[in-house]
Structure 1
């Protein structure tokens, strides 16, 4: 059984390219031998609700992979990027993949 990977995308950084970015995240997952489950879309207001839902889903599904278009999708919220990345690692033992590598 393939390991699950979830996407995370901030709409304010997608510039209307959400579908294209989600396709790229799905392709990366497939090429890495992972099962792309779903993408959590953070609203333009960036209140962090989608990030909280992502973290809960990772724990619920015992999943340990997240893919983002770039690490910038973890920046610019009320909580700094390093704190969000540490939370994923601490609470879900998640590895973060980016499509811009």
Structure 2
């Protein structure tokens, strides 16, 4: 029996935007979506409420981990890369250029 390994994806959520404030349910949803897109979901990076920093700290960790593991996909909930000190397009560009990762924004 041969087992096929799915490509790795990471998750990214902002805890201040979670409706139910239950990180476990958002992670379960991302895991389900990752599977339907043909990925194995690794770590989900949780960002606290946005602060006035150039790049959000969990986002920086996400980029570094994508580079380290050669993961080329990030799955996030719609709007979780918006309304921060850095605009959404800059965040998407950083993931693309520095980690070669594409972002899949999905509804909760």
Q: Tell me whether the two structures share a fold, i.e. TM-score over 0.5.
A: yes
Aligned 8 A contact 2:8 2:39 in 1: yes
The unaligned stretches of length 5 or more in structure 1 are none
1:99 and 2:106 correspond? yes
Structure number with greater Rg is 2
CA-CA distance at 1:98 after TM superposition: 2.1
Distance 2:60 2:91 in 1: 10
Query: Matched residue of 1:73: which SS?
Result: coil
Distance 1:98 1:19 in 2: 18
Distance 2:7 2:22 in 1: 26
- The TM-score normalised by the length of structure 1 is 0.90
Instruction: Between 31-40 and 10-19, report the one with greater CA deviation.
Output: 10-19
Aligned 8 A contact 1:7 1:67 in 2: yes
Which aligned segments of 4 or more residues in structure 1 are displaced greater than 3 angstroms? none
RMSD: 1.6
Alignment match, 1:57: 65
Considering fraction of residues, name the structure with more helix: 1
- The TM-score normalised by the length of structure 2 is 0.85
Query: Matched residue of 2:44: which SS?
Result: strand
